[in-house]
Amino acid sequence: MRTTAAVVEATGASFTLRERELDGPGPGEMLVRVAASGICHTDLVCRDQWIPVPLPAVLGHEGAGVVEAVGEGVTKVAPGDRVGMTFDSCGGCRSCLIGKPAYCHRFFEHNFAAPHFFGQSSFATHSIARERNVVKLPDGIAAEVAAPFGCGLQTGAGAVLNTLAAPAGSSIAVFGTGSVGLAAVMAAVVAGCTTIVGVDVMPQRLALARELGATHVVDPTAGDAVDAVRAATGGGADFSLEATGSPEVLRSCVDCLAPLGECGVIGAPAFGTEVSLDVTTILTGGRVVRGVVEGDSVPEIFLPRLMELYLRGRFPADRLMTFYDFDEIERAAHDAETGASVKSVLRMS
């Protein structure tokens, strides 16, 4: 069938709308008419080849829409069902079998090297997805709001609720208050963290962090961020999250921790980026530094719970979103890169 897709032809090239031929769904697959797709930092760094993906490519991995047809063996959804699309996984490796699909042994193969980016390539009017990487949408949530839950929102929220499992009364510092960082701030409120510090260089994002529940905000250009976090948390944070992709910021995330504190690394820099850490700081304080992919989410379980929090007004994710028509994808991407929008979301129809 014919579909309209935003194609990236070469490193750093524009998203160009083109008519493409899309095969029907094979076994275990489904055809989804895409209603909306979020633009994620990962889409942009793949366009720029920080993460090497085959080009030309149709990117997009925060899609939502309606199932139009299913392939052989699909029982999870039927034509007419509204679905959100998320990351893909093999389902058979040790990580998948213990309920950790975000650390699938074949994650790169299924999400970055696959013909359908992240099992969806949702910068298009139609997408082929797999049964493993779709979740039925609950009634009451619009597809354009649900779409970004598939990656950025579940990553930030899951880092707090799943990976760090921050308990009530704990403190957390979130470095980078874009969509992932602000999702973490909102999740920290849900978790009952009593000290929530947002760190960013953009005043409007710090103001939004305050509105969404941050108890303190820090602008690193106005003074030492580590000292400010330590002062806000009474000597050091129980948890920190690095959501910028900067190795210098990661160092600050580790240095601001209290003894036995834990730092989650979310931000994605270019492949090969290295960081310098003080071994004594980690060793003598029993501090932990660990990577976080997709918020340690089992999407079928976590995404419905997160969307229910949204529907109950406890996770106001729509506050982050700016909506664009599909043919405005270049402006949407530019606004995401410059910070003019926190979360750019494309409407396909």
CATH number reported for the structural domain that contains residue 106 in this entry = 3.90.180.10
Residues 6 or more apart whose CB falls under 8 angstroms from that of 106 comprise: 89, 90, 93
Same domain, 211 and 122: no
Q: What is the pLDDT along the chain (349 residues), one digit of tens a residue?
A: 999 999 999 999 999 999 999 999 999 999 999 999 999 999 999 999 999 999 999 999 999 999 999 999 999 999 999 999 999 999 999 999 999 999 999 999 999 998 899 999 999 999 999 999 999 999 999 999 999 999 999 999 999 999 999 999 999 999 999 999 999 999 999 999 999 999 999 999 999 999 999 999 999 999 999 999 999 999 999 999 999 999 999 999 999 999 999 999 999 998 899 999 999 999 999 999 999 999 999 999 999 999 999 999 999 999 999 999 999 999 999 999 999 999 999 999 8
Q: Is 307 among the domain residues?
A: no
Q: Is 30 among the domain residues?
A: yes
Q: Which two tokens stand for residue 263?
A: 């730092």
Residue reference for tokens 């890169």: 337
Specify the number of domains making up the chain: 2
CB count within 10 Å of CB 313 equals: 7
Q: Is 302 among the domain residues?
A: no
- Position 114 scores a pLDDT of 85
Measure CA of the first residue to CA of the last residue in the chain; give whole Å: 17
124: β partners: 5
Q: What angle do CA 205, 333, 263 make, to 5 degrees?
A: 50
d(CA 177, CA 152): 12
Same domain, 123 and 163: no
Residue 38: domain span = 2-150+316-347
Cβ contact 70:23 at 8 Å: no
CB count within 10 Å of CB 64 equals: 31
- Position 349 scores a pLDDT of 82
Same domain, 222 and 326: no
Q: Is 219 among the domain residues?
A: yes
Residue reference for tokens 């529907």: 311
Q: Is 333 among the domain residues?
A: yes
Phi and psi at 336, nearest 5°, equal: -65, -40
Q: Which two tokens stand for residue 326?
A: 């599909």
d(CA 196, CA 216): 6
Same domain, 207 and 290: yes
- Position 165 scores a pLDDT of 98
d(CA 68, CA 332): 27
- Position 21 scores a pLDDT of 93
Percent helix / strand / coil, the chain, rounded to 5: 35, 25, 40
DSSP at 292: -
Same domain, 274 and 329: no
Which of 296, 288, 287 shows the shortest CA–CA distance to 266?
A: 296
Cβ contact 196:214 at 8 Å: yes
Cβ contact 242:217 at 8 Å: no
Same domain, 206 and 339: no
CATH number reported for the structural domain that contains residue 160 in this entry = 3.40.50.720
Q: Is 311 among the domain residues?
A: no
d(CA 183, CA 38): 14
Cβ contact 114:54 at 8 Å: no
